[in-house]
């Protein structure tokens, strides 16, 4: 068994966390395998990524059996195992879709929220489990959830440890779409395929701009927009987009 499986359908890469007996809780091997999958996803032949879980869970954060004896220095484990993969998702210059197929808890919520889009099965649930065991949000949970939900709702949810249903997560804007569980894979593939057909470099640069906006002044943001817009005009997809518009035909974007 491999802790993370990858598959390709054209330019869409699916990364499946694969420890279904423990709802895909993280252990060291899974961190390493996820890191390798995210490195593979950097290739130009990949234009959209789907992150999902095997079995009935998405990901329930740290494997707690590793805490039974002595937790060790969690800070070091976060820096060494979790942070590189959270940063790798944000650094991917292409859309990453979390297809949340079941319970997401602890760092599993953080990883879902590190993705660019979240769609959920109607059976999915979201548990900010950290507080339930006396921990604080990590793996970017406090960063992403407060940006997605705003301070008040993020504080209330993350300090209650309450399990949210997919419908509640949708109402709060934590996920953009909820589908019947048996349709999730197909819907994620459809969405990923549609995004993979868009100007990939433009999507990558849009992602960079939105991340930058979180902490930039207006002056800084205007400057980065100007730089990246210049870069966008040097892409093949810009030329194709303008030509297709003027020819009154559908564009055929290559991702270059
Ligand atoms: O160490 C570091 O590096 C620091 C990093 C910390 C980051 C973190 O993520 S801390 C937060 C860790 N996660 C949790 O605390 C979540 C614990 N799990 C739950 O609260 C519940 O499992 C859920 C609410 C997520 C789902 O509940 P339910 O009823 O759908 O499933 P279940 O029956 O609880 O779980 C199914 C199995 O998965 C079960 O095993 P069994 O009885 O069938 O043999 C359960 O023990 C196992 N499981 C679930 N979560 C974990 C786990 N095993 C190990 N670690 C888990 N996190």
Residue 26 gets which letter from DSSP? B
Query: Element (H or E) spanning 105, and its range?
Result: strand 103-105
Q: What's the gap in Å between 29 CA and the centre of ligand 1? A: 17
Residue nearest to atom 4 of ligand 1 (CA): 74
Q: What is the mean pLDDT of residues 135-163?
A: 97
Mean pLDDT across the chain: 97
CB contact burial 231-243 (16+ within 10 A = b; e otherwise): ebeebebbebbee
The protein residue with its alpha carbon nearest to ligand 1, atom 45, reads 22
Q: Is the CB of 94 under 6 A from ligand 1?
A: no
Q: How far is the CA of 105 from the centre of ligand 1 (A)?
A: 7
Catalytic positions are 83, 138
Say if ligand 1 is within 6 A of residue 57 CB: no
**Cα–Cα distances in angstroms (integers) from residue 169 to residues 36, 60, 118, 147, 163, in the given order:** 30, 16, 10, 14, 10
pLDDT interval class at 122 (50, 70, 90): very high
Q: Confirm or reject: Cβ of 61 under 6 Å from ligand 1.
A: yes
Q: What percent of the chain has pLDDT over 90?
A: 96
pLDDT tens per residue across span 179-194: 999 999 999 999 999 9
Question: DSSP states of 184-222 as a string?
Answer: HHHHHHHHHHHHHTS-HHHHHHHHHHHHHHTT--HHHHH
Q: How many CB atoms within 10 Å of residue 219?
A: 8
Residue 207 CA to residue 94 CA, distance in Å, equals 8
Which tokens go with 243?
């030509």
Q: Rounded to whole angstroms, how far apart are CA atoms 11 and 55?
A: 24
Region 84-98 average pLDDT: 98
Atom of ligand 1 nearest to the CA of 22: 38
CA of 165 to the centre of ligand 1 (A): 17
Exposure on the CB side of residue 38, measured as CA atoms within 13 A: 25
Q: Which pLDDT tens digit goes with each residue over 221-252?
A: 999 999 999 999 999 999 999 999 999 999 99
| DSSP secondary structure, 146-172, as one string | HHHH-HHHHHHHHHHTPPEEHHHHHHH
pLDDT in tens, 4-62: 999 999 999 999 999 999 999 999 999 999 999 999 999 999 999 999 999 999 999 99
149 lines ligand 1 (CB under 6 A): no
Q: Which residue among 27, 60, 71, 123 has the greatest number of ligand 1 atoms within 8 angstroms of its CB, and so is best to mutate?
A: 60
Residue 89: what pLDDT?
98
- Residue 24 CA, ligand 1 centroid: distance in Å: 9
Q: In sequence order, which residues have a C-beta less than 8 Å from that of residue 161 and are 6 or more positions away?
A: 127, 128, 129, 130, 131, 132
Residues 114 and 82: their CA atoms lie apart, in Å, by 12
Q: Whose CA is nearest to atom 50 of ligand 1?
A: 60
- Give all domains of the chain, ordered by start, each with its CATH number: 4-196 (3.90.226.10), 200-247 (1.10.12)
Cα end-to-end distance, the chain, whole Å = 36
> What is the pLDDT, as a whole number, of residue 68?
74
pLDDT score recorded for residue 108? 98
């Amino acid at each position: 068994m491999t802790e993370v499986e990858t598959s390709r359908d054209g330019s869409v890469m699916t990364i499946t966390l694969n420890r279904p007996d423990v709802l895909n809780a993280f252990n060291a091997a899974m961190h390493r395998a996820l890191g390798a999958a995210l490195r593979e996803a950097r290739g130009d032949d990949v234009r959209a990524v789907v992150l999902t879980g095997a079995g009935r869970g998405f990901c329930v954060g740290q494997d707690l059996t590793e805490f039974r004896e002595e937790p060790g220095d969690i800070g070091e484990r976060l820096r060494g195992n979790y942070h590189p993969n959270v940063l790798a998702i944000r650094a991917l210059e292409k859309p990453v879709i979390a297809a949340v197929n079941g319970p997401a808890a602890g760092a599993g919520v953080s990883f879902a929220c590190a993705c660019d889009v979240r769609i959920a099965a109607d059976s999915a649930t979201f548990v900010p489990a950290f507080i339930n065991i006396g921990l604080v949000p990590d793996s970017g949970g406090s960063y992403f959830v407060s940006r997605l939900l705003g301070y008040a709702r993020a504080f209330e949810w993350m300090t209650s440890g309450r399990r949210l249903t997919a419908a509640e997560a949708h109402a709060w804007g934590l996920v953009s779409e909820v589908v019947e569980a048996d349709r999730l894979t197909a819907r994620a593939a459809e969405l990923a395929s549609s995004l993979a057909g868009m100007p990939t470099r433009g999507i990558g640069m849009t992602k960079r701009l939105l991340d930058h906006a979180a902490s930039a002044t207006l002056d800084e943001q205007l400057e980065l927009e100007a730089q990246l817009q210049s870069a966008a005009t040097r892409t093949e997809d810009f030329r194709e987009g303008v030509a297709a518009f003027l020819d009154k035909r559908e564009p055929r974007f290559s991702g270059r």
